[in-house]
Structure 1
Amino acid sequence: VTSAGSRLLAQRLAAPLTDSAAIARRLDAIAAFVADSGLRDDLRSTLHAAPDLSRALARLSLGRGGPRDLAGLRDAILAADQALAQLARMQEPPQEIAAIVAALRRPSRELAREFALALAEQLPLLKRDGGFVREGYEGALDESRNLRDASRLVVASMQARYADESGVKGLKIRHNNVLGYFVEVTAQHGDRLMSPPLNATFIHRQTLAGQVRFTTSELSEIEAKIANAGDRALGLELEIFEKLCALAVASAEDLRAAAYAFASLDVATALAKRAVDDNYVRPDVDGSLSFAIEGGRHPVVEQALKRDGQPFIANACDLSPVGGRVGAGQIWLLTGPNMAGKSTFLRQNALIALLAQAGSFVPASRARIGIVDRLFSRVGAADDLARGRSTFMVEMVETAVILNQASERSLVILDEIGRGTATFDGLSIAWAAIEHLHEANRCRALFATHYHELTALSAKLPRLFNATVRVKEWQGNVVFLHEVLPGSADRSYGIQVAKLAGLPPSVIARAKFVLAKLEAQDRGQTARALADDLPLFAVPSRAAAEPAPPSEGDKLIEAVRALHPDEMSPREALEALYALKAKLPK
């Protein structure tokens, strides 16, 4: 409910913690506000009315502040007192809230009282406009203001007297920044004031199309007094403003601590309200390699469905080490139709981990997460043509970062690796990537794919777990159930999705015919045979990765193959024979 709270929440989401103790302190604060809804609502009302303390202090520190920023500091300190009174209702506040209480007590209450005495009720936006110092705060300022205001009354009485003396009822005394104060009459009365005896009093200054302007010696004297009084009053106000700013800057460290406490309090109460309203639970974040989510939900998609009155189908995910072995996180290979929810499932688990380590409750019925050191995501399609990178090149670059950097503590989500190139090229890359994740990175990972042939790898890779998204076929259509279950899919239902998208019926019919022909080749059987034939992936050494140098026999064979006898002259053939003999080992 505050700008500072919004900024702090964005910072925490952008930089989650990897210290389980620090995460626990944040979660303790949220849990306290989950348990006490009355205190939570009272604090949110106080915070909602509080000004943005950090922004006001920053403007004043940079010399760009105004009177309203000083009032913001005053009101923020008063709001801190109100929040402290509300927080005093907690019997044993958690460590995070105790730190907030200590920070809210730091700003000097004398500073707030000084600002309350100095500042008027109605404040201008800019200090140069003046009028922001309360009457009675500074005696010299009150004297200058009285002189300025009294002089203006003198001008008003002078205008009435000049009108009577000249007999011109429409005579006005006006002011602008060029001429200062001047007497103005309409053009038809201008000659009258320029004729004796009135011309002895009224001195002509300017003739316009419809008006004539004059001045008098008396008016010039009054103008000097008014200008001096106004300038002196504004100068005194600016001096008072600088003094108050100096007081604020001197207390900047305490005020910044209070501003951060306000933001932390806003984040904790907001996340507590979200947890209560949307049934979030406290995650168990520890130093293990566990990753067990029960009833997990996507925090954004769930809100969109709720607005449409539809439920979100929750799903479990367990990437914890098999049998508790350290450094052996599971890899889930997720297959299933288009539009069934594979990408949503991948992202929701990554977001649950991010929220948990940012110090928030999570959308699940239970969650245990071992600290994730880095979260890697390879999702979607994008190009970088300005740097000469195609869509597939960008995909491979991002995949390379993951395979080269992910550790056993990392969490990786990969969606459709290898789809941007030829089918067997892509299948080969995805196959090798899974083996590398399993044997080299040994990280916790979710790998979504339409290459159903990859499911055969689960027979060889002990930590590879096949999962699929459940669907039902009904009268030629596909019903998406959005449930993630053990097993594998054998179809992607892409043609049905194309039909839903509105492709012409002729295209759909032709696609079904071509698909039937292709499926008759039974590529799945080929993949199973390939999985049986290939040895398990092993991390290659540098020597193994480099091709072996050709032997002398290989060189001799290549030299013979390079000969073309029918095209050679007798002399060329004799020279070639001598060259071959020279290659024989001695």
Structure 2
Amino acid sequence: AGARALAAEAAHLEELVATALASRDAIAATADALARIDVAAALAERAVEGAWSRPTFADTPCFEVRDGRHPVVEAALARSGDRFVANDCVLGDRSRLWLVTGPNMGGKSTFLRQNALIAVLAQAGSYVPAAAARLGLVDRLFSRVGASDNLARGRSTFMVEMVETAAILAQATPDSFVILDEVGRGTSTYDGLAIAWAVVEAIHEDNRCRCLFATHYHELTRLAERCDALSLHHVRAREWKGELVLLHELADGPADRSYGLAVARLAGMPPATVQRAKAVLAKLEAGRAKTGGLAAGLDDLPLFAAAAQAEEEACDAIRAEVEAIDVDALTPREALDTLYRLKALARETGGEG
């Protein structure tokens, strides 16, 4: 009886499997339809609840967002009874690179992330958290935000930052969308400023993509005078009766100051420490005014493309001189004279005194 029961059970299972296999195309089509309905219903529900708008697309690499918002941050603020401050973002041919300055906690990182999220949602077929949005198709979206170590691979925060930035510079195209947050902050002040300066120039001159670049290096604002498509913006903040008021609004132009000490006070830093920092800051600013500042002399540097071309021309001149040498026909004296001549040529093309 037990054997017959097992046989009957196996037969029933075989019949059920055969029936399922015979209907596999219909089952797969039904699952696909249900998945599409689920996605569409979920996106529609979010669009209605959040008052999202339908984006439009253009054939040019533009990015025009009016009253854009970050849906996750907006929902978190709504639970605590606060209102999210919406901001516009307009990237085009004449302003495809935005340099955003301002204090910590002012909303720079949120602004960068919300626009990247709007690009992803729009191209996924969703409505977007904005009053209106018009954008050109994005072939790739790159981001360098946050701080993270990869200790298992022996990579520090700065190393991870540099690896990710290098990948962006190597792969971003004019149709890409890039957000860069505080590039260069993981190393010394001079090294960090130098790297950030070079990255901004490379994005502007070589990659030529739509990019939002948030930084605390106010010296980078000098690049606006030399880079036609670079636009300066800052998150607004005010001090009222000794307290810092973060407005989370984006305005045109560079930030007038960093408000670092005010943020430290807001974070609960002991008053004595804040006062000491104030005294040290006064000394540093006096020294900066006397020497011309951290970025003194950078205005004399040629732009990224011009500098690279000059180095290439210098290498070409030395290479041509070396290739013209008939090694087998040289006497020891002529070989020595040739070395001196090459050394002099290297000094001239390298600009050494």
What is the TM-score when the length of structure 1 is the normalising length?
0.52
Change in CA separation of 1:486 and 1:584 when aligned onto 2, cut-off 3 Å = same
Residue of 23, 28, 34 corresponding to 1:256: 28
Partner of 2:87: 315
Residues 208-263 of structure 1 deviation map (CA, whole Å, 9 limit, x = unaligned):
xxxxxxxxxxxxxxxxxxxx2x6535542442232122111121122111101001
CA distance in 2, matches of 1:460, 1:479: 33
Q: What amino acid maps onto 1:455 in structure 2?
A: T
Q: Does 1:480 align with 2:252?
A: no
Asked whether the 8 Å contact 1:294–1:366 carries over to 2, the reply is yes
Q: Does 1:289 align with 2:61?
A: yes
Identity %: 58
Q: Does 1:435 align with 2:201?
A: yes
CA drift at 1:397: 1.0
CA distance in 2, matches of 1:368, 1:582: 66
Change in CA separation of 1:352 and 1:545 when aligned onto 2, cut-off 3 Å = farther
CA drift at 1:544: 4.3
Partner of 2:301: 534
Residue of 27, 39, 60 corresponding to 1:267: 39
After superposing the two structures, state which structure 1 stretch, 496-505 or 534-543, moved more.
534-543
CA distance in 1, matches of 2:190, 2:250: 27
Q: What amino acid maps onto 2:299 in structure 1?
A: D
CA distance in 2, matches of 1:434, 1:356: 27
Residue of 312, 323, 326 corresponding to 1:543: 312
Partner of 1:355: 121
Change in CA separation of 1:272 and 1:486 when aligned onto 2, cut-off 3 Å = same
CA distance in 2, matches of 1:282, 1:290: 16
Ranges in structure 2 where 5+ consecutive residues have no aligned partner: 322-331, 342-353
CA distance in 2, matches of 1:547, 1:491: 45
CA drift at 1:400: 0.6
CA drift at 1:581: 11
Partner of 1:461: 227
Higher-Rg member (1/2): 1
Residues 470-491 of structure 1 deviation map (CA, whole Å, 9 limit, x = unaligned):
0110111110000001011132
Q: Does 1:505 align with 2:294?
A: no
Q: Does 1:277 align with 2:44?
A: no
CA distance in 2, matches of 1:495, 1:547: 51
Ranges in structure 1 where 5+ consecutive residues have no aligned partner: 1-227, 323-328, 553-578
Q: Secondary structure at the match of 1:538?
A: helix
Partner of 1:27: none
Change in CA separation of 1:371 and 1:498 when aligned onto 2, cut-off 3 Å = same
What is the TM-score when the length of structure 2 is the normalising length?
0.85
Asked whether the 8 Å contact 2:96–2:210 carries over to 1, the reply is yes
CA drift at 1:422: 1.1
CA drift at 1:302: 0.7
Residues 104-161 of structure 1 deviation map (CA, whole Å, 9 limit, x = unaligned):
xxxxxxxxxxxxxxxxxxxxxxxxxxxxxxxxxxxxxxxxxxxxxxxxxxxxxxxxxx
Q: Does 1:426 align with 2:192?
A: yes
CA drift at 1:338: 0.6
What is the 5 A alignment of 1:123-134?
Answer: none
Residues 52-96 of structure 1 deviation map (CA, whole Å, 9 limit, x = unaligned):
xxxxxxxxxxxxxxxxxxxxxxxxxxxxxxxxxxxxxxxxxxxxx
CA drift at 1:381: 1.4
What is the 5 A alignment of 1:42-441?
Answer: 228=1, 232-233=4-5, 235-322=7-94, 330-441=96-207
Residues 174-230 of structure 1 deviation map (CA, whole Å, 9 limit, x = unaligned):
xxxxxxxxxxxxxxxxxxxxxxxxxxxxxxxxxxxxxxxxxxxxxxxxxxxxxx2x6
What is the 5 A alignment of 1:15-34?
Answer: none
CA drift at 1:519: 1.5
CA distance in 2, matches of 1:391, 1:351: 24
After superposing the two structures, state which structure 1 stretch, 502-511 or 331-340, moved more.
502-511
Asked whether the 8 Å contact 1:380–1:415 carries over to 2, the reply is yes
The alignment's C-alpha RMSD in Å is 2.6
Asked whether the 8 Å contact 2:244–2:266 carries over to 1, the reply is no
Tell me how many residue pairs correspond in the alignment: 326
Asked whether the 8 Å contact 1:454–1:527 carries over to 2, the reply is no
Q: What amino acid maps onto 1:536 in structure 2?
A: L
Q: What amino acid maps onto 1:543 in structure 2?
A: E
Partner of 1:123: none
CA distance in 2, matches of 1:275, 1:231: 59
Q: Secondary structure at the match of 2:123?
A: helix
CA distance in 2, matches of 1:346, 1:582: 59
Asked whether the 8 Å contact 2:178–2:210 carries over to 1, the reply is yes
Asked whether the 8 Å contact 1:297–1:312 carries over to 2, the reply is yes
After superposing the two structures, state which structure 1 stretch, 513-522 or 334-343, moved more.
513-522
Residues 549-579 of structure 1 deviation map (CA, whole Å, 9 limit, x = unaligned):
59x9xxxxxxxxxxxxxxxxxxxxxxxxxx9
Q: Secondary structure at the match of 1:520?
A: helix
Change in CA separation of 1:584 and 1:264 when aligned onto 2, cut-off 3 Å = closer
Q: What amino acid maps onto 1:388 in structure 2?
A: G
CA distance in 1, matches of 2:335, 2:87: 72
Change in CA separation of 1:582 and 1:275 when aligned onto 2, cut-off 3 Å = closer
Higher relative contact order (CA 8 A, sep 6+): 2
